[in-house]
Amino acid sequence: MNYGTLKTICLQKLFAIEGQTAEENDNTRSYLSTLPAAVNEAMALLTTGTAGGRLPPRSIEIPVHPHQTGPDRHREWTVRDLRELDCRFYRMVPGQLFFRRSQQQKPYRRMGCCWLEGDSRLWLACEEPGIWTVYYYVYPKWVSAETQDGEELDISPEMASLVPLYVASQLYKDDDLSVATQYRNEFEVGRAMLLTPETGESGEEFSSVSGWI
C-alpha cells in the first residue's frame, strides 16, 4: 500500500471524503496535518514491543582482527554500536549471530564469544581473524509531511491494512468517541492476529571452537 492510498482510506473512515481522492480542503486539512504522527504510532505498535521484529531482519558483516584488549584479559575484543552502523536498528534477532574464519567457510555459532552492552553496543571476540554476521530487526521507515503519495509503506500488506483503523481511532475521538473506540477495538483484534509466535530455530549444527571436529 502506498501513502496516497493510505490517506484516502483514512479520510474515508473519518467520513471526510466521499470519493477516491484525498484532496486537501476545509474538511480534510486538519486530518491531513495530524495524519503522519498517527500513522507512525500505528507502525510502531505493529512492529515493536510485544510485536517486536515483525519486519524482515537485516544482517551486517563485521570483520575482526586481533588488536584490542577487552573485559577478559585472556581474549581480545572488537566493539561495534549497531545503532551507529544502522540508524534504523531496533534490536538483535535472538541467537542469530554467526562467525566464519574466511569467506569460503560455512558460518557457525560461537557460544560465549560475544556479549551485548546496553541495547546496541556489541562486543565480539577477535582472538582470531574472521567475519561475524549479525542479524537484527529495524524500525519501519517513518512518514512525514514530505512523504510522497506514491511511496510504499515500509510494512507488510497485512500490517498496512490495519493502519487506517488506528489512525481513525485517534483522529475521530473529538467527533465521535464511540466510533473511534470501535475502530481501535478492530485494530487491536487485527494486531493480535498478527502476533504469531516465531518458529525459532531453522537448523542446528555442531562445531568446536578449537577445531577438533
The backbone torsions φ and ψ at residue 78, rounded to the nearest 5 degrees and listed phi first, read: -115, 135
pLDDT of 15: 94
pLDDT of 70: 52
pLDDT of 94: 85
3-state secondary structure the chain: CEHHHHHHHHHHHCCCCCCCCCCCCCCCHHHHHHHHHHHHHHHHHHHCHHHCCCCCCEEEEEEECCCCECCCCCCEEEEEEHHHHCCCEEEEEEEEEEEECCCCCCCECCCCCEEEECCCEEEEECCCCEEEEEEEEECCCCCCCCCCCCCECCCCHHHHCCHHHHHHHHHCCCCCHHHHHHHHHHHHHHHHHHCCCCCCCCCCCCCCCCCCC
**β-bridge pairing 121-125 and 58-64:** unpaired
CA 129 to chain centre: 31
CA distance 151 to 130: 39
89 and 135 Cβ atoms separated by less than 8 Å? no
- What are the pLDDT digits (tens) for 148-201? 999 999 999 999 999 999 999 999 999 999 999 999 999 999 998 887 655 555
The backbone torsions φ and ψ at residue 208, rounded to the nearest 5 degrees and listed phi first, read: -90, 140
pLDDT of 20: 84
CA distance 1 to 159: 10
Q: Enter the C-alpha cell of residue 5.
A: 492510498
Higher pLDDT: 71 or 86? It is 86
pLDDT at 135 over 50: yes
pLDDT of 197: 57
- What are the pLDDT digits (tens) for 81-133? 999 999 999 999 888 888 888 666 777 766 568 888 888 999 888 877 888 89
pLDDT of 21: 81
pLDDT of 88: 93
Lowest mean pLDDT among 53-62, 68-77, 122-131, 134-143: 68-77
- What are the pLDDT digits (tens) for 20-61? 888 888 889 999 999 999 999 999 999 987 655 578 899 999
For the whole model, what pTM was predicted? Answer: 0.77
